[in-house]
Amino acid sequence: MAIRTPDGEFPSIPALLRRNARDHGGLAAYREKEFGIWQSWTWTGAEAEIRAMAMGFLALGLARGDHVAVIGRNRPALYWSMVAAQMCGAVPVPLYQDATGDEMAYVLDHCGARFVVCGDQEQVDKVIEVQEGSGAHAIEQVVYLDKRGMRKYDHARLNALADVVAEGRAAHHRFEAELDARIAGLDPDSTCVMLYTSGTTGRPKGVVLSNRNIIETSRASSEFDHLKAGDDVLAYLPMAWVGDFIFSVGQAMWTGFCVNCPESDSTMMTDLREIGPTYFFAPPRIFETMLTSVMIRMEDAGPLKKRLFDHYMKLARRVGPAILDGKPVSGMDRLRYALGNLAVFGPLKNTLGLTRIRVAYTAGEAIGPEIFDFYRALGINLKQLYGQTEASVFITQQPDGEVRSDTVGVPSPGVEVKIGDSGEVFYRSPGTFVEYYKNPESTASTKDPEGWVATGDAGFFEEGTGHLRIIDRAKDVGKMADGRLFAPKYVENKLKFYPNILEAVVFGAGRRMCTAFLNIDLTAVGNWAERNNISYASYQELSQNPQVIAALKAHVEEVNRSVAEDPMLAGCQIHRFLVLHKELDADDGELTRTRKVRRKIIEQKFADLIEALYGGADKIYTETEVTYEDGRKGAIKATLTITDADTVPRTQRMAAE
């Protein structure tokens, strides 16, 4: 497939901004709830703000090719700062706002950022910590958005973003020509953004994406789902994540739809309801949380409402997805579904803020079939996609009408996908990244000279439908001691579909049997404990409650039965498990910032527990170091119960066959 270059007229994001301001200048481009009111900016207004900000950056001495780190929660001004940096010929580098000082220090030094734009005091403090620390850094100017608490800081090399904008505006005669020249200097090959991968192993790598990568991908994916000016998205996922950059910058600039920013992290659900986005993206976790809260509230509802809900949800699960996919459904069922829509589905969608959704995506992790079907049954067009930073997100996605919970869809427009001999998935696309910044070895080992990129995931194309199915990380797929296939993620996902289980880590590579660590979900289990009059004083106590463990044992055994049905993976049944006394946490290095399990670290850190799982003991005492949010360290001590779970023996299975 030929790689198309972006329309010569729009070689860069700033060029698209100019077009939007010209073609639909009056439409809302950004909204943000502040002081209880939705403030909005049109494309014309946004362009003026961004230009002023860019000229402010010029006044501070931002040079071509500089890196500008951006750290903070989703706010219009921070999105503008990225575009303003691009206008100046610099490269925006959004960072995870919950990164610790150490993690930030590495990235800031690696990209050599001269400018850092911070959302608030908390981020400024971390940057100052980096500046004053022993490590190398190139930081010269720090700019902050929220003025709160900043009054008494030394402002020699520190500026409020508002002041930078004001300065840029005042000096526009001086900088206008220079700015236009810099914008004109951008071409499809110049760097659009640099994003650091969360890195399940080793240090994060800086993925360089060009204007061509971002604009081509945004164009193709917007056309795929018929996105248009006038659509609304809610920008609430980390700005450092490639998905947010594609949705809130790439696609927003290409189509001219409106990016809505929540008031704060904790108001996301309220803001979702108020905005009612038409295009929505969320990791499975969010959909899961929403479903859990609906179910918990239905438990408290009156008997009539509860019966109405149960009755129509049963109907919806049966016919809802078929109606959504445009498959034949009897007239009677359609009528009953319409009634259900009036009584239950409509009001429920309205409460969730999903009434206006035309397209919703989930990705990043496998989603539980019940969760997935729940939303589709309500008539919400929830689909799955498969992607990664190095591909500018899109590798495969599900077309309307071909949506299932166990596949990730067909190759996205313009993307070629092939399965390697080892079962690893490879792709080649216009969105394929340019390189890893300052890391030619990794670039060479990931991307071959013909442009094929190894995803690191093992998967296969399904016969007949042509849909891709992902099994696990290729490097995690291994062999057990007796040579049977070991695919931990496959089992973990099955475990995590239970609302009681937040996280699961399965061990077994090179061992004679599989074992697991489980994390309880405090919301679900806590609610259950409350209903059953089980008192507990802490997370740790609840996690070791015998009734809780018994409930989890039932889940594990159910998973074992389901795993046993697949002869290839029957060896992955869980023989013994324990419930961890602490939640796995990115602050302790056990998860990545995108909440993926870091196996090596967990194996090292909890080596004593793993030994106990493979030993004969039924109790184990352990001490674990934890890091609090403010960076202090502490230790928690606990005695954990190890439980044996029933497995389906191979012989019995053969006999049954």
Report the nearest approach of other proteins to the CB of residue 263 (Å): 5
Q: Which is nearer to other proteins, 421 or 629 (CB)?
A: 629
Residue 506 beta carbon to other proteins: minimum distance, rounded to whole angstroms: 33
Kindly state whether residue 8 participates in binding other proteins, applying the rule CB under 8 A: no
Give the shortest CB-343-to-other proteins separation in angstroms. Answer: 26
Among 2, 132, 134, 151, binds other proteins (CB under 8 A): 151
Distance between CA atoms of 67 and 489, rounded to whole angstroms?
Answer: 36
Residue written as tokens 């403090």?
Answer: 125
Query: Strand 67-71 to strand 115-118: parallel, antiparallel, or no bridges (unpaired)?
Result: parallel
Considering the complex, state which of residue 270 and residue 562 has its C-beta at the smaller distance from other proteins.
270
- In the shown chain, the binding pattern of residues 467 to 486 toward other proteins, with x for contact by CB under 8 A and - for none, equals --------------------
Please say which residue, 149 or 347, places its beta carbon nearer to other proteins: 149
CB of 538 to other proteins, least distance (A): 12
User: Could you tell me which residues come within 8 angstroms of residue 330 by beta carbon, excluding any fewer than 6 positions away?
Assistant: none
- As measured in angstroms, the least distance from the Cβ of 152 to other proteins is 5
Question: Residues 6 or more apart from 161 whose CB is under 8 A from it?
Answer: 53, 77, 81, 117, 143, 144, 145
Among candidate residues 21, 23, 22, the one with its CA nearest the CA of residue 45: 21
Q: Which long-range contacts (CB under 8 A, 24 or more apart) does 315-321 make?
A: 315/340, 316/340, 316/344, 316/345, 316/377, 316/378, 316/379, 317/373, 317/374, 317/377, 320/345, 320/376, 320/377, 320/378, 320/379, 321/373, 321/376, 321/377, 321/403
Q: Which two tokens stand for residue 513?
A: 């049997």
Instruction: Verify binding: residue 635, other proteins, rule CB under 8 A.
Output: no
Q: Taking CB under 8 A as the rule, which mask of x and - marks residues 562-591 in contact with other proteins?
A: ------------------------------
Cβ closest to other proteins, residue 273 vs residue 318 = 273
For residues 263 and 557, which CB has a smaller minimum distance to other proteins in the complex? Answer: 263
- Asked if 232 interacts with other proteins (CB under 8 A), we say no
Q: Is residue 632 part of the contact set for other proteins (CB under 8 A)?
A: no
The gap from C-alpha 560 to its chain's centroid, in whole angstroms, comes to: 29
Q: Which is nearer to other proteins, 264 or 639 (CB)?
A: 264
* Residue 400 interacts with other proteins (CB under 8 A): yes or no: no
Nearer to other proteins, 18 or 273 (CB): 273
Smallest CA-to-CA distance from 150 within 138, 160, 141, 142 is with 160
Q: Does 633 bind other proteins (CB under 8 A)?
A: no
> Which amino acid, residue 527?
N
Stretch 247-276: interaction string toward other proteins, x if CB under 8 A: ----------------xx-xx--x------
User: What track of x and - describes contact with other proteins for positions 12 through 51 (by CB under 8 A)?
Assistant: ----------------------xxxx--------------
The 3-state secondary structure of 32-61 reads EEECCEEEEEEHHHHHHHHHHHHHHHHHCC
Least distance in Å: CB of 149 to other proteins?
A: 6
Q: Pick one of 149, 369, 399, 466: the residue that binds other proteins (CB under 8 A).
A: 149
CB closer to other proteins out of 120 and 167: 120
439 makes contact with other proteins (CB under 8 A): no
Read off the tokens for 76: 């219009």
The reply to whether 2 sits near other proteins by the rule CB under 8 A is: no
Should residue 540 be labelled a site residue for other proteins when binding is judged by CB under 8 A?
A: no
Q: How many CB atoms lie within 10 A of CB 299?
A: 11
Q: How far is the CB of 31 from other proteins (least distance, A)?
A: 15
CA angle 614, 617, 621 (to 5 degrees): 100
Q: Which residues sit opposite 232 in a β-bridge?
A: 258
Closest CB 37 distance from other proteins, rounded Å = 8
Q: Return the number of the residue (39 or 445) whose C-beta is nearest other proteins.
A: 39
The CB-of-630 to other proteins minimum distance in angstroms stands at: 8
Distances (CA, A) of 541 to 313, 465, 581: 35, 48, 8
Burial 104-141 (b: 16+ CB within 10 A, else e): bbebbbbbbbbbbbbbbeebbebbbebbeeeeebebeb
Of 145-153, 525-533, 582-590, 607-615, which part binds other proteins (CB under 8 A)? 145-153
**How many residues lie near other proteins (CB under 8 A)?**
13
Q: Residue 278's closest CA among 234, 226, 232, 324?
A: 232
Question: Counting contacts by CB under 8 A, is residue 152 touching other proteins?
Answer: yes
The DSSP secondary structure of 130-185, one letter per residue, reads: HHHSSS-----EEEES--TT-TTS--TTEEEHHHHHHHHHHTHHHHHHHHHHHHHT
The CB-of-35 to other proteins minimum distance in angstroms stands at: 4
Angstrom distance (rounded) from CA 144 to CA 72: 10
Q: Record the tokens describing residue 314, joined without a space.
A: 């049963």
Of 266 and 651, which CB lies nearer to other proteins in the complex structure?
266
Counting contacts by CB under 8 A, is residue 148 touching other proteins?
Answer: yes
Residues that bind other proteins (CB under 8 A): 34-37, 148-149, 151-152, 263-264, 266-267, 270
